[in-house]
Structure formats: C-alpha cells, structure tokens
Structure 1
Amino acid sequence: MTEPAPVGLQARRSDLEARLGAVHERIAAAARAAGRGEAPELIVVTKFFPASDVRLLAGLGVRRVGENRDQEASAKAAELADLDLEWHFIGQLQTNKARHVARYAHTVQSVDRPQLVSALSRAVAAENQRRADEGLPARSPLGCLIQVDLRSPAEHAGDAGPAHRGGALPADIGTLAGLIDAADGLRLGGLMAVAPLGSDPAPAFARLMELSMVLRATHPGADVVSAGMSQDLEQAVAAGATHLRVGSDVLGPRPALR
C-alpha cells in the first residue's frame, strides 16, 4: 500500500500543478494568437529551488529542467538520477566547470566563446573515458546552443551595463557554429538569447529569429531557438521560439538564500 504524501508535500504539489497549468495555458494561448500549430517546449528553470520540487514537477510531466549554477545542478542531478530528465545548463559557464557539466547536462545553452567550445569537447571526451573505465556506455553528444547578445549597436557603444545579459556578438555566430559542428562530442542545436533589460523584447526576439534563419542556411539541424521567460514568453512565442525558459511563474517566489 502506498503511503500518503505529507500534508506539506501535497500542498506544494497542488501549488506547482496550478502554476504549471497556468503557464501551459499562457503558452497555448500565445501559440493560438500567433497562428502556430504547435506550442514551444517548456524548460522549467529550478535554480534556488530544492530537488524535491523538481521531483514533484517530474511527476506532473515536466522533463526539461534548467539550471544556471554548476554546483547546485550537479547535486540535484545526482539526487534525481532515477528520473528521466533533460538537464539544460543556462548560465554563464567557466571553462574549468565544463568537466562537471558534461557529467549530467543534456544541453549547454550558454556557449559564447571558442575557449568554451574546446573545454566542452575535452570534457565530453574525459567523461566518456570515465564511463568506459567503469564499464558504462558513452554519453550522447552534448547539445550546444550559441547564446547571442541581442543588445543594439547603440547599447554596445554605450556599454549599457545592466542591459548586458551575456552572449556572443551576432557577427561571431558563424565562427562558433563551425567550431561546435567540428568538435568531437558536441552537437550544434541552435541559438539562445535573453531579451535586453529595459527594452521591448519583441524586436530583440525578431532579430534572434532572423539570426536563426541565417544559421540554418548553413547548419539545417541547428533549429532550436531558446527565448522567453516568465515576463516575456508571449513575445517569444509570437516570434517563433521553439523553447521557453520559465522559472518563477512555475515555482513561485524565490526562496530565501541561506
């Protein structure tokens, strides 16, 4: 006989279910408004929230999970290794953390420089060697999205501080795509971006889609466009994003850090 869940856990599951349902409704409504036949995939960003929340979300049908700090992501992935989850690393990644990320990540969405491409390729090779030594199968190729800096030329010229969300310049996408495509153990997935702070996200996402079209002309399989968060998912859906990254609207207010 299955033991009943603790009352607190039941309440949290109900809260997550309601929030997740509301987000799915927003996505579906935005897709209908844009005349899209299929809604984008949802990646639930669980940074700062406990592994217990991720387990509850998995029980509600969530498969794609986003994290932006390696130490936190590594611990959660290890604790939840029994679940069939796709871990997406979405934060700025130091090259010395690449080896850790290669152990659990399905995709790194924040590839923004050649040094990181090289580090990730070496990390996948090291991870596969570790697995071979332990009699385990090799991991699948590590998906890589090129993070694009969508600031305008004027914002770049003025070095607009807080508006900078990281990423490669649009002019560098082709070079990075070629490096990823040629690197052992990596798979070029497409593009990712965050709308500049304080600006209308719609033009930025439209620009991202234009850049995606250019990329797909030479790399047809790089068809992922990851854009849109809690506050601007409708604009991302309207632009044509294939994946959305939503955290607070699914999980609620960020817990106090200790």
Structure 2
Amino acid sequence: MTERKNELAANLARVEERIASACASAGRERDEVTLIVVTKTYPASDVRLLSELGVRQVAENRDQDAAPKAADCADLPLSWHFVGQLQTNKVRSVASYADVVQSVDRARLVTSLSTAAVRAGRELGCLVQVALDAEAGERGERGGVGPGGVAELADLVAASPGLRLEGLMTVAPLAGPYAGRQQAAFERLMEISSGLRVTHPAANMVSAGMSADLEEAVKAGATHVRVGTAVLGVRRPLG
C-alpha cells in the first residue's frame, strides 16, 4: 500500500474502534451505526483510496468541489451525501450526483430539489436539518430549521415528486441552550425523530456527530455519523 493509503487505513481503524466501543457502551449493535466519511477539501485520489478500503458513504459540503470529484469517481460504488448549506442556484448540479441531501431547511429548497430530481430522472433522499439554536420560524447559524418547523417541512418533502424523506440531521450548535452540550443536543434530536416517525415511520435516519463528538451521538441513538478530520487528517485551507 502507498503511504497515504496506509495512513487512511490506520485512521479508519481507529475510528472504527471508537464507533464499536461507543456502540458497546450504549448497548447497541455495531451495524446500527453507519460511517459517512466527509471528504471535503480532499482530492478524488483520497476518495478512491477510501473506496479501496471499504468506505461506501462519502459527504461533501460545497458543490463547486463535489461535482467534479463525484464525476471523477463515478465508477466507484459510493453513495454521495451533500451536507452543506445549499443555495437554490446549485440545486440542479447537486441533484445530478448526490444520493442524499442532508441539509434541507426551507420550503423553497424542497421545491427546487423536487424540480431538479424529476428533471434528472432521479430520486433524492432528504434529511431535514434541525437547528437547535433557532427560534420558531428562523434558521440556525449553521443552517437548519428550528424544531417547531420540522413537521411541516418534513410533510412537504414527503409529498414532493422525486424526493424521499429519510429522517433528520443536526450539527451540534455553537450558540443557544445546547451550546457545548452535545449529548443533550443529540438526545433532543432523537426526541424530534421519534415524533417525526409517528407520521413518517420510514424516516428513521438520524445523522449526528462528527470527529469530536461521535461517541455522544452514538450514545444518543444516531444511525449515521459524519467523520472527516479523524479519517483524513487536519483540513487543508480552502482556496
């Protein structure tokens, strides 16, 4: 193996050990949690190495980086997740390669995604991004809709052609009552997820936790964790 592949393999093994340990501590089976590797700012060559190492779920947060990378890796057995704040003028591009959009947070975006998915002949999985730092009717500092707006937005996704409601996503907030309280934030997300599944039983995906707090997310019940730095290393500065 190349030096970079060895590095990635060692990092993946450490992350796998953390997830397995967190699952054991929480009394969960390891296969209840899916690892999504966040490949933002890293080249397609790293994505290829990750695929060779068995990674099947990758995430990006900027279309201008993700689109060419997805095209370069179109021959690989990967599912692409879009996790960044999404502008409507980027929707058509994102809908051409993303399998799941995790950052759905407003009605206008749902409408645009639906139109683009139908035009592309694709079905997009969608997660409603929950902002635990947002008041009713507002968006969070890092995107997302406040808890009070989740049900209405989820209903809209579920009713929109070309879209499939998968569940919820959150990013641990930097402000508000849950700032610095990742465990409490993720437990609140699980409460909202339980409420959502009353009307949308299949929307059981809960994406929470990153490199620094994946253990708290697993303990709370997250089904997917999004890990970048712990696998790929410290982020390179964006140009």
State the TM-score, normalized to the length of structure 2: 0.94
Change (3 A) 1:225 1:99: same
1:90 to 69, 77, 83: 83
The corresponding residue for 1:81 is 74
Q: What is the one-letter code of the residue matched to 1:16?
A: L
Aligned to 2:6: 14
Q: 2:129 is matched with which residue?
A: 147
Secondary structure in structure 2 of the residue aligned to 1:88: strand
After superposition, the C-alpha distances for 1:49-78 in whole angstroms (9 at most, x for unaligned) are 000000000000001000000011100010
Residue of structure 1 equivalent to 2:106: 113
- Structure 1 gap segments, 5+ residues each: 129-138
Alpha-carbon separation, structure 2, partners of 1:100 and 1:246: 24
Inter-partner Cα distance in structure 1 for 2:153 and 2:143: 15
User: 3-state SS of the aligned residue for 2:13?
Assistant: helix
Give the aligned partner of residue 230 of structure 2.
249
Name the SS of the counterpart of 1:205 in structure 2.
helix
What is the total number of aligned residue pairs between the two structures? Answer: 233
The alpha-carbon distance between structure 1 residues 164 and 257, as it changes in their structure 2 partners (threshold 3 A), is closer
**Deviation for aligned residue 1:165:** 2.1
Q: Does 1:34 align with 2:26?
A: yes
CA distance in 2, matches of 1:37, 1:83: 28
Query: Larger radius of gyration, structure 1 or 2?
Result: 1
User: Distance between the aligned counterparts of 1:113 and 1:256, measured in 2?
Assistant: 29
Instruction: Give the drift of 1:164.
Output: 2.6
For 2:180 and 2:208, the matched residues in 1 are separated by 15
Q: Cα deviation per residue 1:191-234 (whole Å; 9 max; x = unaligned)?
A: 00011124110000000000000000000000000000000000
User: Following TM superposition, by how much is the alpha carbon of 1:152 offset from its aligned partner in structure 2, in angstroms?
Assistant: 7.2
Whichever residue aligns with residue 24 of structure 2, its letter is R
- Which of 187, 191, 196 is the aligned partner of 2:164? 187
In structure 1, what is the equivalent of residue 189 of structure 2?
A: 208
1:25 equivalent in alignment to 2:2: no
- DSSP-derived class of the 1:49 partner: coil
Partner amino acid, structure 2, of 1:149: A
Residue number in structure 2 paired with 1:135? none
After superposition, the CA RMSD in angstroms is 1.7
Q: SS of 1:194's equivalent?
A: coil
TM-score, length-normalised on structure 1?
A: 0.87
- Matched-pair identity in %: 58
| Runs of at least 4 residues off by over 3 Å | none
| Secondary structure of residue in 2 paired with 1:187 | strand
The answer to whether structure 1 residue 125 and structure 2 residue 107 are counterparts is no
CA contact (8 A) 2:134 2:146 kept: no
**C-alpha distance 173-256 of structure 1, shift in aligned 2 (>3 A):** closer
